Structure 1
C-alpha cells in the first residue's frame, strides 16, 4: 500500500479528550499533519483507564500515537494566552468541551485563523435542548437505540464492550475535516476570500449512523424491526466453544438444515422464508441450538465451510491476534509505546499507519511554547 501523507505541513491543535476527538487527531497525524495534543495538568481522562504501565495506558496510546504532548492550565491567564496563540496558528482545531466552554477558554472558532477548520465534538451537538447534557459512549449507545438492539440472552439491553460510538464519531470527524480541507484548497486555488469552517459532530449522530437501516425500518414499522436473518447467530458446540453462522439468502437455510441433519425444517411452512422464520424464531432457534450441541465447534465449522456457508469461531482478541490469517496479512502491526513496550494495534483501514508513540503528559511543552516566544532582534 502506498502511504501518502498529504497533510504534511498542516498544524493541528487537538484539545479533545477520550476517544472520538483524539481518534480524528491521530488519523490526521498518520496522514502527515503536525498534531499537538493539548491536555490539562491532570491529563486526558483516558490516561487513567484500561491497562497501564507506569504513567501510560493502552487506551490513551491507541488514539494518540504520533502526536506531540503539551500541558497548559487553561484556568491560568498565561495558559489561556498560549492556547489562544496556538489556536490562531492552527489549520485545524479539535475540541470536545461542553458547548460554549471552548470559546471561554480561548479555543473557539473566533480564536482561529480566517480559513481554519474548527471541529467540535460533543454528546448531543452544539444546539438543541440536550446540548448541555454530559454524554459518554455508553450514554450515546443507550440514547441512540444501540443498547436496546443489543439485548442479551438475559433479556437485558447491553452496551457493546468496545467504544463503537466514539470510534465511529472519530472516523466521521476525520472524513468531515478532510472534506473541509479539500473545500479550503479549492477556495485558495480559485482565489476566493478565506472562509472559516465550523464542524459540529456529536456522539448522537455517530450512533445513529451505525443504526441507519434499523432506524429506517423502525420508522416504517412503528416499532423496532425483528432479527432479519433468523436463525443466524452464535451457537455452542458440544465442547463448549462458540461459533457464529450467518444467512443472507433464503437458500442458505436449506443448506444449514442439511448440514445440521435437520432437512424436515427446510420443508416446514413455518420456516419458509426469513419473515416466517423471524415470526417463529422461538420455535426454530432451540432446535438449531440443540443440533449444534451434538458435535464439537470445529466439526461444525469444517462442515459449514465445506458447504460454502459463512461461519467463524467466536474469537477473543487474543484468539484474533494469534490467528494465522491475521498474522499473515499484518493486521495488527506492533507499535512501541514507551513503558507499555511493543503493543499490537489494528492497522488503520485504507490509511497510512500512525508513526511514533503517544506522548507522555506534557512531553513537548517546553519545545512547543518556545516557538511562541518572540524572536530576539
Structure 2
C-alpha cells in the first residue's frame, strides 16, 4: 500500500474520501503523489449545487432511479459523489502516467455533476436520439419478490426459456409469464419493470426453498435480498498482479491527452466492460473493439442515433471495431496479433472462458510482455463454488446496496438504475490506469481483476438503512419537484415561504405544492437556502443552456470528458 496523492478538501467531501481511499490502496509502484485532484459539486454545469441530493436532482439520477416508482426518488447512497471520487482517482493516475512519459501535468479537476451525467449517459442517449422511436416504460410491479415464508429475493435470467420454465414450475398463468418477460428483460435499459401482479401473487403462495429449487431446475438464479446496507465481505476494488516479462518504455514529449499512443483491445458486452474502454478512450487511448462476425447485435437495438443504436453509441463511440470469431483457430490467432501490438486487453467474459479459449493473462502476456490484462467480472473474488450470473441487480441485492438505496420506511430493493455496471466499469478502468503507471515506471505488466461486487464496496454507506423526513425527499411543487439542501432546518425554509418560522414539514410541503418551482426556489434563495429543481425528463438537460459546457451534441447528447488537466 502507498500514501495517497493530494486530494483537495473541497465541499465534495465524500468524493474526496473515495478518491483518497482508492489511491492509498494501490501498491507502492503504482503510487501517484505528484498530481493534485480537485473535486467540486457543479464543475462546468452553471447551477449552484450544494450537495449530493442537489446533483442527483439536477442531473437526472433522481429521475432514472425513480422511474420504477413513477416519481423522482432520491438514491439513498452518495452515488454521484462516489463516481466523482473514482473519476478523480483515474485523473490522478492518468496525469501521473503522462508525467512519467515526459509531460509535466500537476493537477486534475472533475466534479460531482459531471460524474452524475456520466452515470446516466445511456439513458440520456436514448432520450435525446434523433430517432422517432419512443422508449416505453411503466412504474410499479417491480421485483424483488416475497415468498410465502417471508424471504425477499431477486431472480435473474438472460434467456426467455429459463424464464418460462421457472414460472411454469411454480404454476403461474401462461399469459402472465409471456406478458412479464419483456419488462423483466428491459429493466436494464429502462430502469423500470412493471411485472404482472399475477407473478407476484404466484411467488407469495410458495415457500422459498421450493422457489430456489425451481430456479435451479430452470437454469436461472435466485438470490435473497440482504436487509442491511453493510458490505457482507470487504474486498479491494481491484487487484493487480505482476505478469512475467517487461516492456520497453518510450517517453512522449507532447500529449494532447494523457493516454495518447496507448492501444487498448477490448472484448466486452453489455455495460460494465464497454464503460471501461469508453473511459480509457476519453483519456486518449485508441480502443479496438472485438465484435462477432456481422457486428455486435446491440448496434441495431432502437432507438437509433444515425445508423447505430443510441445506447450502443453512448458507451462505444470512437472505438474501432474488428470482427472475428475467437472460438476458431484463426480468430484466436487474430486476437494474439492484435494484442501483440497493444498495451491493454480488457474483457468481461464469464468465469473460465478465457482459460478455455487459451486467452488468459499468462497466454497473452507471452506474446506481449508488459501487457495490462484486465478482467471485469461479476462476483470475483468471492469464493462461492457456484456463482450466480453476475448482473447488476443480483449484486445490489447481495452486497447491501439494495438495502441502502431506499430509506428505512420503504421496502429495501435494488435500484433499477444500473449502479454497479457503471461503477464496475469505472473501477476496472482505474485498475488499468494503475497497471499502466506501473508499466511506464518498471516495464512490468499486470493482471487486473475487478468486479461488479468489488465496485459495490467502493460506495460509502452506514451500517443501518437511512432515516429520512419528508424534507429529505423530492418535494412536489405546483409544476414539478424540488429538493432542499441536506439537513436544512424547517425553520430556515418556512419563513421564506411565508409560513410561521415554527412551520413543520407537512406545512412546508403543502405550501410548495401551491406555487411553481421557480417561485419557491427564488424565495428560498433570498434567504440563502439553495433549493434545486428536479429533472423529470432527460431531454430537458439537452435544451438547458446551463449544461452546454458539460454535454456534447451529435445524433444524441452525451457527456463531455469529465477531467480537466493542467
Relative to the length of structure 2, the TM-score reads: 0.50
Aligned to 1:208: 457
Structure 1 residue 234 corresponds to structure 2 residue 474: yes
Structure 1 residue 307 corresponds to structure 2 residue 527: yes
What's the CA shift for 1:164?
A: 2.9
Structure 1 counterpart SS, 2:556: strand
Structure 2 counterpart SS, 1:26: helix
Q: Distance in 1 between matches of 2:458 and 2:286?
A: 29
In structure 2, do the counterparts of structure 1 residues 152 and 247 end up closer, same or farther at CA, with 3 Å as the change threshold? Answer: closer
1:125 to 365, 380, 384: 380
Could you list the per-position Cα deviations for residues 161-182 of structure 1 after superposition, in whole angstroms to 9, with x for gaps in the alignment? 5433222222222222111111
Q: Distance in 2 between matches of 1:45 and 1:130?
A: 32
Structure 2 counterpart SS, 1:70: strand
In structure 2, do the counterparts of structure 1 residues 42 and 253 end up closer, same or farther at CA, with 3 Å as the change threshold? Answer: farther
1:318 to 513, 533, 539: 539
Structure 1 residue 85 corresponds to structure 2 residue 363: no
Structure 1 residue 334 corresponds to structure 2 residue 535: no
Aligned to 2:485: 246
Structure 1 residue 106 corresponds to structure 2 residue 358: yes
Q: Distance in 2 between matches of 1:265 and 1:45?
A: 60
What's the CA shift for 1:6?
A: 2.8
- Say what the alpha-carbon RMSD is for the aligned residues: 2.9
Structure 1 counterpart SS, 2:256: coil
For structure 2, the 5+ residue unaligned runs are 1-43, 45-104, 106-254
Aligned to 2:511: 291
What's the CA shift for 1:183?
A: 1.2
Aligned to 1:196: 445
Count matched residues. Answer: 309
In structure 2, do the counterparts of structure 1 residues 38 and 343 end up closer, same or farther at CA, with 3 Å as the change threshold? Answer: same
Contact residue 495 and residue 501 of structure 2 kept, 8 A: no
Structure 2 counterpart SS, 1:333: strand
Q: Distance in 2 between matches of 1:288 and 1:130?
A: 54
In structure 2, do the counterparts of structure 1 residues 231 and 53 end up closer, same or farther at CA, with 3 Å as the change threshold? Answer: closer
In structure 2, do the counterparts of structure 1 residues 234 and 131 end up closer, same or farther at CA, with 3 Å as the change threshold? Answer: same
Structure 1 counterpart SS, 2:561: coil
Q: Which has the larger radius of gyration?
A: 1
Contact residue 403 and residue 465 of structure 2 kept, 8 A: no
Structure 2 counterpart SS, 1:139: helix
Q: Distance in 1 between matches of 2:372 and 2:564?
A: 21
Q: Distance in 2 between matches of 1:162 and 1:351?
A: 27
Aligned to 1:72: 324
Contact residue 14 and residue 25 of structure 1 kept, 8 A: yes
Structure 1 counterpart SS, 2:383: coil
What's the CA shift for 1:98?
A: 1.3
Q: Distance in 1 between matches of 2:467 and 2:449?
A: 33
Structure 2 counterpart SS, 1:246: coil
What's the CA shift for 1:253?
A: 3.5
What's the CA shift for 1:50?
A: 5.2
Structure 2 counterpart SS, 1:209: coil
Relative to the length of structure 1, the TM-score reads: 0.73
Could you list the per-position Cα deviations for residues 214-272 of structure 1 after superposition, in whole angstroms to 9, with x for gaps in the alignment? 2xx20xxxx32423x762221112x34211222346xx443112223444537xxxxxx
Contact residue 119 and residue 200 of structure 1 kept, 8 A: yes
Structure 1 residue 346 corresponds to structure 2 residue 559: yes
